[in-house]
Amino acid sequence: LGEKLCECSPPEDQKLAILSEVWKIMSKWEPLGDYLKVADIFVEYALLYLGRSEMDILLANIQKHVSEVDKLDETQLRYLESVVFRVVEQYSDLAEVMALQHFIPIID
């Protein structure tokens, strides 16, 4: 679903509502690898269609999930790296990336 939404922009007035509904469900997902796989795609969605405050909310939720485990396995780490790269690639100014309150804790 997330990949298709990234390919074809939903109506402007529904973009945030779609993310909110999806995130209500997926923020409760376990195991972590499954959660991060979907989160990775919806980070792209948020970067394409929403603002920095929504992006920071997603990053906060990702940080919360990641902080609940002692060590990430290779698959989890790959998805988390993808999230980080997507964010860095989207913003042209490093200061914008660093302004995301929950970005640094994710890469820490």
What confidence category does residue 101 fall into, taking pLDDT thresholds of 50, 70 and 90?
Answer: very high
Q: Write the pLDDT tens digit of every residue in 4-62.
A: 999 999 999 999 999 999 989 988 888 999 999 999 999 999 999 999 999 999 999 99
Asked if residue 84 has pLDDT above 90, the reply is: yes
* CA distance readout (Å), 48 to 11, 89, 93, 99, 105: 13, 12, 16, 18, 23
Q: In angstroms, how far apart are the furthest CA atoms of the chain?
A: 40
Specify the pLDDT at position 82.
Answer: 97
Specify the pLDDT at position 30.
Answer: 86
- Cβ count near 106 (within 10 Å): 17
Token duo for residue 11: 């109506």
